[in-house]
Structure 1
Amino acid sequence: MLGLMVKLPESPIGRILPRRAATAIDEALADTRVVLVNGARQCGKSTLVAQIGSAKGAEWRSLDRAATRQAAAFDPTEFVASSTPLVIDEVQRVPELMLAIKEAVDTDPRPGRFLLTGSARVLRLRSVPDALPGRMETIELWPLSQGEIDGSPDGFVDAVFAAGPELRHTSTETRADYVERITRGGFPEAVARPPRRRARFLDSYVADLINRDVIQLSEIERGPEMRALTRLVAARSGQLLVPGTLGNELGLPQPTIKRYLGLLEEVFLIKRIPAWSRNLSTRAVGTAKVAMVDSGIAANLLGLDAAALRQPSGPLGGLLEGFVAMEIARQLTWADQRIELHHYRTKDKVEVDIVLENRRGQVVAIDVKAASTVKAEDFRGLRHLADRLGSDLLTGIVLYTGQQTLPFGPRFRAIPISALWEASSTGN
């Protein structure tokens, strides 16, 4: 039997946490023929679509099962023929299904026909035909946000664009609390485990991802080189991503490094944060920065546990910046405003860690500091941008590990990092 009625899987943390993407998926199914939930393995896609599919009486087919995969490849048209909504898990494993789904929804254009999941950026893979323009909406699902774990609002992005420098937040979090959050990460299996067992899970996760998804999807045979590259990228969290430098360290040509980085991004292991300039200065650097999608994976790859990162001299800065960037990236998938995430750096090494810009050209600029105190010079890059943007800069913020919101001029604030998940969309 290929198809089963959807059965909700058990949650590794003992309860199924509400996901903010659920609303977007429900809305898309109401008016779109095909909805794809795309994201990292083990981030909760199957659990989420099982909840939604169960409520809609959908039939479930997982391409992780060998027999199901073989049937899909043998006769894609018959495989997708269904009078009820159909959930297909890990659709990237049989790319031929996309053309069959196109034929099915062109014949019967009712919304909500197919709910798909993918553990790779499905439409970027060379083996997947671009079959569904105008027929499919893609919703990205990341590992759990801090707000999803805590049951808090996760509304910073909308709040800061609404309130600007009037946003206020008081925190009870300490530097040690942030370290615990970074090493825990957001994968449900990792959240549920004590530190030693979490490390085992994260080791297996990265190994399986490279051996199974990266190598199988791309037909490469250099697993050890991919693993070495992954560790190098983790060590550069929050830094510029320069393929030539990585190639020199690994003894690989730059085109190979670029291809490997693309593969790591396709399977949601890393995220590139593009440079931002708006042609303000010919001295702006165009190189992207990189963050690991999950901070727990980044820390584990570097062999850094909470005790190491709690040390005053511990290498917390880059991991903390990557953690903040990815919490914001998660929020951008559900924020009311449509906002782009960038970084800014000049050839003179004036930089801003995170630049958020909405479609009206309004900007919120953010620097991230691992310190619990903030000084005026910590706003150097933010003031540099303010001089060039004028009124388009709504506010410049230093997110730090202290507990109070502090003013540093009319448009500049130091705000506790926990505002990211504790602020509500109407401010705090």
Structure 2
Amino acid sequence: MIIRELILKLQELMPDFPAIAILGPRQVGKTTLAQELVKNIDPQSIYLDLESPSDRSKLAEPEQYFDLHEGRLIILDEIQRMPDLFPLLRGAIDQRRRKGLRSCQFLILGSASLDLIRQSSESLAGRIAYEELSGFNVLEVDLVEDHPEKLWLRGGFPDSFLASTDKSSMTWRGNFITTYLERDISQIAQFVPANRLRRLWTMLAHQQGQLINFSKLGSSLDLTSPTVKSYVEMLEDLLLIRSLRPWLVNVGKRLVKTPKVYIRDSGITHALLNLTKLDDLLSHPVVGGSWEGFIIENIISVLPKGTEYGFYRTTAGAELDFVFSLSGKVWAIEIKRTLSPKLSKGFLNAVEDIQASHKYFVYAGKDTFPMGSGTFAIGLIDIMLKLKAS
């Protein structure tokens, strides 16, 4: 079993929060993580899958059910299927608190972020902590042979990454995409046509890491710009894509203000483009955007919660692939899949614009070495370890 780094953070939160929500897309390992987390804390914990009719029936009278199992940790999986539970959870938590039960009583798992956070925050303010579980990152799978390349090709969903062959991994991802389109998304938005959403998702894969143009996408799909925007926002809410916002600073220059969009899991990007093997990927035009998105997702996975990040670009050509602020210092990151990194004029101008104090070029090699102008070439694993130690 691959140990998830998030488990240590959750163990720290459990004594202080009566409810903890773990958010993440389906099949990313939330249930496995939750069961591993409580195995030694409360072996008598209760697991309820709210997509199962039999488990939902147990909550026909939820207040009575919670009273009956007072003192036991209850795991509620796919909580978005029963949002009416949130106000009742508040009453159960407050009642248990009055009896001295202050540590984690409810572990809530959900596959949609914005709606779930809004509904729970309204009812459970001050009683719940949120954490997000993404796919495997390179530090979690470091014992697997050829793990960075394998993780990049297959993505971080456990069943995809751990499949016996690249072909089996591709089959799993294809089924995952179909299930999301034909079942899961229809439960949230009944009037979204699966075929158009697949086309949109595939178009986003082709444009991985590019500035999004809703009008252009709408013209290709015969949809209005607002409709396409709503579909993209839905995919973002389902934690399947990430909109990377511009890093806006007052530098007296004309800045690009349109977001860039990435499919968060590189394996899903490759499945949508039918790229089964590494050779297929390396010869495809998406290789640069795919590598960039892969690096960004891995870096985000080790950044402290609430870190501000984005990209920087001016209309004059100054550009940074990834920028974030950590402990009051601005980090500038250039990303290229190359073994011979070279600094561009656009990068040097951009780091001067934003007054970056940490400057790195993340490349495909492993060694760290200076490139001049205070910039270092660095491999993905090393910059992630450096960020964890910061």
TM-score normalised over the length of structure 1: 0.82
| 8 Å Cα contact 2:25/2:239 also seen in 1 | yes
Whole-angstrom distance in 2 between the partners of 1:226 and 1:347? 32
TM superposition shift of 1:395: 2.1
Aligned to 2:281: 309
TM superposition shift of 1:106: 2.1
| 8 Å Cα contact 1:53/1:87 also seen in 2 | no
Give the 3-state SS of the residue equivalent to 1:31 in structure 2.
Answer: coil
Q: In the alignment, which of 49, 53, 72 is matched to residue 62 of structure 1? A: 49
Whole-angstrom distance in 2 between the partners of 1:281 and 1:383? 17
TM superposition shift of 1:264: 0.5
Whole-angstrom distance in 1 between the partners of 2:66 and 2:360? 50
Within 5 Å, give how 1:75-224 maps onto structure 2.
Answer: 75-81=61-67, 82-83=69-70, 84-109=72-97, 110-121=102-113, 123-124=115-116, 130-151=122-143, 179-193=149-163, 194-224=165-195
AA aligned opposite 1:78:
Q
Aligned to 1:25: 10
Q: 1:197 to 1:285 in 2, by over 3 A?
A: same
TM superposition shift of 1:272: 1.2
AA aligned opposite 2:247:
W
| 8 Å Cα contact 1:37/1:140 also seen in 2 | yes
TM superposition shift of 1:49: 0.4
Aligned to 1:363: 330
Give the 3-state SS of the residue equivalent to 1:138 in structure 2.
Answer: strand
Whole-angstrom distance in 1 between the partners of 2:360 and 2:7? 30
AA aligned opposite 2:346:
G
Q: 1:122 to 1:47 in 2, by over 3 A?
A: farther
AA aligned opposite 2:307:
I
Q: 1:221 to 1:75 in 2, by over 3 A?
A: farther
Q: In the alignment, which of 352, 355, 363 is matched to residue 400 of structure 1? A: 363
**Cα RMSD for the two superposed structures:** 2.4
AA aligned opposite 1:96:
D
| 8 Å Cα contact 2:302/2:388 also seen in 1 | no
Q: Which has the higher contact order (CA 8 A, sep 6+)?
A: 1
TM superposition shift of 1:111: 2.4
Deviations 1:256-292 (A, max 9, x none): 1111111111111111111111222441122111121
AA aligned opposite 2:104:
G
| 8 Å Cα contact 1:33/1:114 also seen in 2 | yes
Whole-angstrom distance in 2 between the partners of 1:304 and 1:200? 11
Whole-angstrom distance in 1 between the partners of 2:120 and 2:214? 26
Whole-angstrom distance in 2 between the partners of 1:31 and 1:222? 44
Q: 1:183 to 1:374 in 2, by over 3 A?
A: same
Q: 1:42 to 1:179 in 2, by over 3 A?
A: same
Within 5 Å, give how 1:189-338 maps onto structure 2.
Answer: 189-193=159-163, 194-305=165-276, 306-311=278-283, 315-332=286-303, 335=304
Aligned to 2:320: 352
Instruction: Select between 138-147 and 393-402 the one with higher mean Cα deviation.
Output: 393-402
AA aligned opposite 2:239:
F
TM superposition shift of 1:315: 3.4
Q: Which runs of 5+ in 2 are unaligned?
A: none
AA aligned opposite 1:369:
K
Q: 1:251 to 1:124 in 2, by over 3 A?
A: farther
Whole-angstrom distance in 1 between the partners of 2:117 and 2:226? 18
Give the 3-state SS of the residue equivalent to 2:231 in structure 1.
Answer: helix
Whole-angstrom distance in 2 between the partners of 1:389 and 1:68? 53
Q: 1:330 to 1:381 in 2, by over 3 A?
A: same
Number of residue-to-residue matches in the alignment: 380
TM superposition shift of 1:422: 5.7
Whole-angstrom distance in 2 between the partners of 1:210 and 1:80? 34
Whole-angstrom distance in 1 between the partners of 2:3 and 2:149? 24
Q: 1:327 to 1:356 in 2, by over 3 A?
A: same
TM superposition shift of 1:200: 0.8
AA aligned opposite 1:382:
F
Whole-angstrom distance in 1 between the partners of 2:79 and 2:139? 29
Whole-angstrom distance in 1 between the partners of 2:255 and 2:143? 39
Aligned to 1:52: 37
Whole-angstrom distance in 2 between the partners of 1:34 and 1:338? 20
TM-score normalised over the length of structure 2: 0.90
TM superposition shift of 1:236: 1.6
Aligned to 2:353: 388
Aligned to 2:372: 409
Deviations 1:2-47 (A, max 9, x none): xxxxxxxxxxxxxx21111111111211101110001011111101
| 8 Å Cα contact 1:144/1:186 also seen in 2 | yes
Matched, 1:372 2:372: no
